[in-house]
Amino acid sequence: MAKEETIALKISHISKQYPGVKALDDVSLEIRRGEVHALMGENGAGKSTLIKIVAGAVSPDSGEIFVGDTRIEAMTAKRSKELGIAVIYQELLMIPALTAAENVFLGTKVTQGGLVNHREMEQRAAAIFEELGVHIEPGARVSSLSTAYQQMIEIARALVKNAKILIMDEPSAMLTEDEVETMFQVIARLKAAGVTVIYISHRLEEVFHISDRISILRDGRYITTLETDKTNKAELIHYMVGRELHQTFPPRPPLPERLPVRLEVCRFTGNGVNIDNSCGHPVDISYATFE
């Protein structure tokens, strides 16, 4: 198989400047067909901006995107969808008053003589839920379903639209541990079905659990891509923060438990440290708790 045929998505020299911050600086990255590719980096690293560009929601200042072998001149949301790219953002797109099945088919008409055929819609939704291995009643109102189920409905919606590349932006942020486990099982099924998954996270445990390869962004720059089974947490932290935490700070007594540590910084410079994290964005350094 020619090399190009194995690449589902190629991001080439993408840059994006926002007022006061270079969100992406000459980022190039290749996603292989059928892999689960984790995209990692601290808050503000540029992960969401990159996928919004792939989704056609944000225009880059420069750079190119290739889907398969096709160079996409100007990615728009419509084009991105047509090319089989689906993004599941943290803010789920649901109409709570409608049923699970109706939400699966939002934007996809299942019509019969101009009327929506509810029976077929529910049957097809049930089949997709079964394929995903999740127990959702197609006729249930979405308002009665957990966030995790609503996320599964979004995944089902992407499948109905024949998505080939599914991008999930920090999908675990709103889920309980058990729900994350279910989501991982769904991702495994998607992978088995040949879907390429880009999984954005800054949680180390998760990416080791779910991904084949890991790419790291830091301060808008592409740092590296690693095979998941050939790296470790210390190496990932090193690439994400750009220094060894334990070498920079004096040892601290262990925390009573792994409490999430949150640090909010705003243009902080001094003593070899230079953080320009646009004000108001907390930096999650929970992975920096001492193990």
Ligand X SMILES: Nc1ncnc2c1ncn2[C@@H]1O[C@H](COP(=O)(O)OP(=O)(O)O)[C@@H](O)[C@H]1O
Interface with ligand X by CB under 6 A: which residues?
A: 18, 21, 23, 41, 43-49, 278, 281
Task: Fill in the DSSP letter of residue 209.
Answer: H
Q: How many residues does the chain have?
A: 291
CB of 43 to Mg ion, least distance (A): 7
Nearer to ligand X, 58 or 175 (CB): 58
Nearer to ligand X, 41 or 138 (CB): 41
Nearer to Mg ion, 48 or 80 (CB): 48
Q: Which does 21 bind (CB under 5 to 8 A by kind): ligand X, Mg ion, none?
A: ligand X
Q: Which does 23 bind (CB under 5 to 8 A by kind): ligand X, Mg ion, none?
A: ligand X
Q: Which does 135 bind (CB under 5 to 8 A by kind): ligand X, Mg ion, none?
A: none
Nearer to ligand X, 164 or 213 (CB): 213
State the DSSP H helix or E strand holding residue 273, giving kind and residue range, or none if neither.
strand 273-275
Query: Which of positions 135-194 make contact with Mg ion (CB under 5 A)?
Result: none
CB of 244 to ligand X, least distance (A): 21
Q: Which does 215 bind (CB under 5 to 8 A by kind): Mg ion, ligand X, none?
A: none
Q: Which does 84 bind (CB under 5 to 8 A by kind): Mg ion, ligand X, none?
A: none
Sort strands 196-200 and 36-40 into parallel, antiparallel or unpaired. Answer: parallel
Query: Which of positions 39-58 make contact with Mg ion (CB under 5 A)?
Result: 47-48
Nearer to ligand X, 58 or 140 (CB): 58
Q: Are 40 and 216 in contact (CB under 8 A)?
A: yes
User: Which residue has the CB atom at the shortest distance from Mg ion?
Assistant: 48
Nearer to ligand X, 44 or 171 (CB): 44
Residues 6+ apart with CB under 8 A from 1: none
CB of 250 to Mg ion, least distance (A): 31
Cα separation, 185 vs 196, whole angstroms: 15
- The one-letter amino acid code at 206 reads E
What number of other Cβ atoms are within 10 A of residue 251's Cβ? 7
State both tokens at 221. Answer: 């720059």
Contacts with Mg ion: how many residues (CB under 5 A)?
Answer: 2
Cα separation, 227 vs 250, whole angstroms: 31
**Three-point CA angle 217, 221, 222, nearest 5°:** 60
Q: At residue 271, what are phi and psi to the nearest 5 degrees? A: 50, 45
Backbone conformation region of residue 272, classed left if phi is above 0, alpha if psi is from -120 to 50, else beta: left
CA trace torsion 178, 256, 241, 248 (10° rounding): -170
Q: Mask of contacts with Mg ion, 221-240, x by CB under 5 A?
A: --------------------
Nearer to ligand X, 22 or 33 (CB): 22
What are the residues binding Mg ion (CB under 5 A)?
A: 47-48
